[in-house]
Amino acid sequence: MTTILSAKRQNVRTTANTCPPHPICPPRSVRPSLAKIVHAAAQAVDERSLTYMISSDARAILNPKPLLALLCLAYAQGIYSSKEIETVLQSNQQLQQACGEGIVDASVLSRFRNDNWNTIRTCLVTVLWFMAEQKIAEGFVTKANKEHIEKEASRRMTAAAFSDSECGWN
């Protein structure tokens, strides 16, 4: 089944049976179409709107777009804790390589989220809208409300910040 979505005025075609052709290949439990749309949404972001991060080991300046995609994919799946995202990242060599040379840990992810809040939120709205369109196409819901999706993106961002504040990373 093929779905068409306009992401930042780009048409992105996703096919449910193929692995997305990008370095952030998701675990098998993630539908490739979601990972592909997250990647496309992150790539559509103007890099000048993102703050670069220095790795935890201070060895490298990290590319912000893979970090943006990583956080949006996690938040879209309901994973908010930077520590939990770090654990997933440590167990996935492809994700580590996509993020660059340095070490990406929970404190880097938390700082990246805080420094790029509005850009991550905007990207997450695009991803959540895609998810809503999929649910409409599958017959689970009949319509999507833009204001509701924007509020849901804000709620997920706040949940991530709250989760990290309990660990002292905010």
pLDDT at 147: 96
Instruction: Decide if 114 is inside a domain.
Output: yes
**54 Cβ partners below 8 Å, 6+ apart?**
60, 61, 62, 102
Q: Is the dihedral of CA 65, 38, 151, 78 positive or negative?
A: negative
Instruction: Decide if 13 is inside a domain.
Output: no
Instruction: Decide if 25 is inside a domain.
Output: no
The CA distance from 81 to 84, in Å, is: 5
Instruction: Decide if 66 is inside a domain.
Output: yes
Within 10 Å of residue 159's Cβ, how many Cβ atoms? Answer: 14
Q: At 152, which amino acid appears?
A: E
Instruction: Decide if 40 is inside a domain.
Output: yes
Instruction: Decide if 6 is inside a domain.
Output: no
Instruction: Decide if 170 is inside a domain.
Output: no
Domain count along the chain:
1
Instruction: Decide if 143 is inside a domain.
Output: yes
Q: At 15, which amino acid appears?
A: T
Domain that holds residue 47: 31-165
pLDDT string in tens for the chain (170-residue length):
333 233 333 333 333 333 333 334 444 455 547 888 999 999 999 999 999 998 887 877 888 999 999 999 999 999 999 999 999 888 887 777 777 777 889 999 999 999 999 999 999 999 999 999 888 988 998 999 999 999 999 999 999 999 988 665 55
Give which of 167, 47, 44 is closest to 110, Cα–Cα: 167
